A and B are shown apart, each in its own frame.
Chain A
Amino acid sequence: MIRDITIGQYYPADSVIHRLDPRTKLFGTMIFLISLFLADSIWAYVLATAVLAAAIRISKVPFSFMVRGLKAIVILLLISVSFNLFLTDGETLVKLGFLRITKEGLYTAAFMAVRLIYLVLGSSLMTLTTTPNELTDGLEKGLGFLKRFGLPIHEVSMMMSIALRFIPILIEETDKIMKAQMARGADFESGNLIQKAKAMVPLLVPLFISAFRRATDLAMAMEARCYRGGEGRTKMKPLKYKSRDRISYLLFFLYIGIIIAMRVML
């Protein structure tokens, strides 16, 4: 269940996309997400599909791996599709009792579904090809200009990378405690909602305690290595744009340009 979340899971492979600067990938993903909301014609979606398919192909991440991220949004997808399908006014196509499907409803539902799926695929492509460390480095540098407005960018990105770093550890810890309590006869599966919620107590209390213990240990270890925030801190691998990044930026602008042109002209 928890393991199905592909966001924050890195798939190691050797591809151009893996080697891109994280800032480029962040920007590219953002462009792609914006383009999905700008696209309003079938041709624009064809273009978006082609771009996404090409990117997935180049990334060498198996498609089956990408689709796993979709499991998490199945319910959201079903709800939004059925709302759009049944509750849009317009030309009636089919009538089932009090439910009716309109032509406009069918269109919006289809666009909505494609949009949601592409949103998830696009962003998981980024997280699958970028290690959490690169990602936060990219965010820190890419948003560095906000420091001038007094925002603690370094601290926020450090917190983010620590949080990401601890996801697998906490999953493992949950698994361990769950098993330990199951060995003592605990039952996490059967029973009604209230019984299930009560059954979580023997899991959550030890989990919280261990999370706090790990947090104090980590803070101690960081202080022991003289960590004192972002000021004057240098990077072991400073981010630097290469020619592949410049080409990518060019492609991004070209792509968003075409999408905008399509919106204006079609």
Chain B
Amino acid sequence: MGIKAVNLNYIYGQGTAFEQYALKDVNFEIQDGEFIGLIGHTGSGKSTLIQHLNGLLKATSGEIYVNGENIYSPGYNMKALRSKVGLVFQYPEHQLFEVDVFSDVCFGPKNQGLPKEEIERRAREALSLVGLDESYYSQSPFELSGGQKRRVAIAGVLAMEPQVLILDEPTAGLDPRGRDEILDQIDRLHRERGMTIILVSHSMEDVAKYADRLLVMNHGEKLFDGPPKEVFKHYKELEQVGLAAPQITYIVQDLRSRGIDIDDNITTIAEAKEAILALLSGKEKT
């Protein structure tokens, strides 16, 4: 399921003294089954952009095509769009409201108007996808830990069985273990179910590890668009817009500047480990 944005503009507070471009002439096309990392400093328009993709915000001008259909054409079914494009907001645990975990996860599919058995099947499946077993079903979502709450909230969106999953900083405020668990679960959804993922993140390490392609936003405009390795080559420009490359890229650059011949395409620790070990074993032989 492809998403295509054409000349997307969004102006906040149009017609008032506080008029401001939140998105400026943004163009991109996302193919089926891609894992996109969306990065940009605070206020760069990432959150505004993703809210356009499921029709929560309407662009001031420009078009969005989902599966080739213009979502702004009259009579387009926004509700159907929202179950195709699932959006998990920042701190999604703030949206929990039901008396128990299971009924909260059922909220989405219930709104889709599905039969009861199907709703429950989806809720069970979504909860098992985020790693919560039956012992949690009847607990109050407000008594869970932060990481568990967040997983319930993500399950609430997964239960709608979207084809595209957009997550706005799903790991903000979680401990390292909770963070890795959530990201691994998202990665599994991408690999095993072929789900298209758009991950908004501030962690260059995370997007370098998981994403196939990066979109970099700056002041409402698209700055870079390409595979992580390509994008992180521009680490000097990234620094100018308040971002950076993964730390390991800096180490590799440092090694290179000291005359060590190491591949400058490295963006993850695993790759660096291999390359360094290869270099070391090469040295031993000679």
- Which residues of A line the B interface, CB within 8 A? 176-177, 179-187, 201-202, 205-206, 209-210
Assess whether A186 is in contact with B97, with CB atoms less than 8 Å apart. Answer: no
Given contacts A184-B108, A184-B111, A202-B107, whether A177 and B160 have CB atoms under 8 Å apart is no
A182 to B108, alpha carbons, bound, how many Å?
Answer: 9
> In whole Å, how far is B115's beta carbon from the nearest beta carbon of chain A?
15
A209 to B98, alpha carbons, bound, how many Å?
Answer: 12
A137 to B97, alpha carbons, bound, how many Å?
Answer: 38
12 contacts between A and B (CB under 8 A): A179-B89, A180-B94, A183-B56, A183-B88, A184-B82, A184-B107, A186-B111, A187-B79, A202-B95, A202-B107, A206-B96, A210-B94
- B23-60: CB near A (< 8 Å → 1, else 0) gives 00000000000000000000000000001001010000
A70 to B111, alpha carbons, bound, how many Å?
Answer: 37
**B142 within 8 Å of A (CB atoms):** yes
Give the chain B neighbours of A183 by CB distance below 8 A.
Answer: 54, 56, 82, 86-89, 157
Assess whether A206 is in contact with B95, with CB atoms less than 8 Å apart. Answer: yes
A210 to B153, alpha carbons, bound, how many Å?
Answer: 16
Q: A182-B56, A183-B87 are in contact. List 17 more A-B contacts (CB 8 A).
A: A176-B89, A179-B51, A179-B89, A180-B89, A180-B95, A182-B82, A183-B54, A184-B107, A184-B111, A184-B156, A185-B82, A186-B107, A202-B95, A202-B97, A206-B95, A206-B97, A209-B142
> In whole Å, how far is A153's beta carbon from the nearest beta carbon of chain B?
35
**B83 within 8 Å of A (CB atoms):** yes
**B112 within 8 Å of A (CB atoms):** yes
Q: Looking at A183, A187, A206, A210, which has the most chain B CB atoms within 10 Å of its CB?
A: A183
Residues B60-117 near A (CB distance < 8 A): 79, 82-83, 86-89, 92, 94-97, 107-108, 111-112
A179 to B50, alpha carbons, bound, how many Å?
Answer: 12
- Which residues of B line the A interface, CB within 8 A? 51, 54, 56, 79, 82-83, 86-89, 92, 94-97, 107-108, 111-112, 142, 156-157, 160
A202 to B108, alpha carbons, bound, how many Å?
Answer: 11
**Chain A minimum-CB-distance residue to B157:** A184
Q: Is the interface of B mostly helix, strand, loop or mixed?
A: helix
Give the chain A neighbours of B94 by CB distance below 8 A.
Answer: 176-177, 180, 206, 209-210
Assess whether B108 is in contact with A185, with CB atoms less than 8 Å apart. Answer: yes
A174 to B96, alpha carbons, bound, how many Å?
Answer: 14
> In whole Å, how far is A126's beta carbon from the nearest beta carbon of chain B?
20
Give the chain A neighbours of B88 by CB distance below 8 A.
Answer: 183
Give the chain A neighbours of B54 by CB distance below 8 A.
Answer: 183
A219 to B193, alpha carbons, bound, how many Å?
Answer: 46
Give the chain B neighbours of A185 by CB distance below 8 A.
Answer: 79, 82-83, 107-108, 111-112, 160
**Chain A minimum-CB-distance residue to B15:** A64
Complex A-B, nearest 7 residue pairs according to Cβ-Cβ distance, in ascending order: A185-B111, A205-B97, A180-B95, A184-B108, A183-B87, A180-B89, A202-B97
**Chain B minimum-CB-distance residue to A176:** B89
Assess whether A177 is in contact with B95, with CB atoms less than 8 Å apart. Answer: yes
Give the chain B neighbours of A201 by CB distance below 8 A.
Answer: 97
**Chain A minimum-CB-distance residue to B16:** A65
Give the chain B neighbours of A180 by CB distance below 8 A.
Answer: 89, 92, 94-95
Give the chain A neighbours of B96 by CB distance below 8 A.
Answer: 206
> In whole Å, how far is A204's beta carbon from the nearest beta carbon of chain B?
8
**Chain B minimum-CB-distance residue to A62:** B17
**Chain A minimum-CB-distance residue to B55:** A182
A202 to B110, alpha carbons, bound, how many Å?
Answer: 13
> In whole Å, how far is B146's beta carbon from the nearest beta carbon of chain A?
12
> In whole Å, how far is B118's beta carbon from the nearest beta carbon of chain A?
14
